Amino acid sequence: MERFEFQVGESFHRRRLDDFLFNEFTHYSKAYLRNAVKNELCEVNGYVANTGIELRENDFIEIFVDSENAKSMLPQEMPLKIVFEDESILVVDKDAGILVHPTHFERDGTLLNGLTHHLNQTRQNEVRFVRPHLVHRLDRETSGLLLVAKSSEASRSLCRQIKRKEFKKRYLAMVEGLVEQGEGEIDAAIGRDPELRRHLVTPDGKPSVSHYRVIEQYTNSTLLELEPVTGRTNQLRIHCAHIGHPILGDEMFGNNSSTRLCLHACGIEFLHPDGGAPIVLESTEPGFLK
């Protein structure tokens, strides 16, 4: 454990303790810092604090941190397919099989490791640390477009768009069997099954809606364009299986006929967090169509 001491400056007067710690420990996991406070390893003016405490200028903060366990998103150089980038946001076209963020079991080799390296390369003898903020996520097996914010402000703006359903996502999926109806809506609540420990269509689940449109039919499969109206865990995979057309390669929900999950995030539409200009981006053709 290392002991750190800080005195709160004017810029963090009336700001939360967790915001202050995230700003000071930019290379450290936010979850770790929250747990350090929860486990009474942080004091403000000599008193055990909580993450939501409102700071005052000249407050004295003391915290004990295990640096090895606290590190998050270690920079690692890796090839990235960057579709769009400016000062506020970045959009990357992710390959299937790449884990998006570190877990307790996999700490490196993830997309966030690569993004952290990309955003923090040395320029003019100075290192500008930028923490990549995930606005939405993709499963390891899913390929396609992923939007990343470069600041908390940009992230909050984009997350508000998601809540207001102004952020649009489109996917391509190759599903089992022939989908007869040219287009339609799947309205089926999704909840977590406590015994199977995974999300499924359940009567008491959260409202979940997906739209689909048939793009092309093959001998025993159909290429669909999918648009999730809501954003539940594994929503598209669950909904396709629910209507009897699981996505090819989706072993979890009933199909193992492909070496990969045939699901690809092909398009996103949103308003730029700085100024509100509309952004419309398309991905390259997914590997399972080549």
Backbone angles phi, psi at 172, to 5 degrees: -110, 135
The kind and range of the H/E element at 24 are helix 17-24
Beta-carbon count within 10 A of 265 CB: 23
Kindly give, in sequence order, each residue whose CB lies less than 8 Å from that of residue 267, ignoring residues fewer than 6 positions away: 145, 168, 169, 170, 280, 281, 282, 283
Q: How far apart are CA 77 and CA 266, in angstroms?
A: 25
Packing angle between helix 17-24 and helix 30-38, nearest 10 degrees?
130
Pairing of strands 133-134, 143-149: antiparallel
Q: Among 211, 208, 238, which residue's Cα sits nearest to residue 227?
A: 211
- Of 139, 204, 250, 274, the catalytic one is 139
- C-alpha torsion 114→117→119→120, nearest 10: 170
139 given a catalytic annotation: yes
Residue 127, amino acid: V
Beta bridge partners of 147: 91
Beta-carbon count within 10 A of 128 CB: 10
DSSP labels, 185-230: EEE--EEEETTTTEEEE-TTSB--EEEEEEEEE-SSEEEEEEEESS
Beta-carbon count within 10 A of 48 CB: 11
**Positions marked active-site:** 139
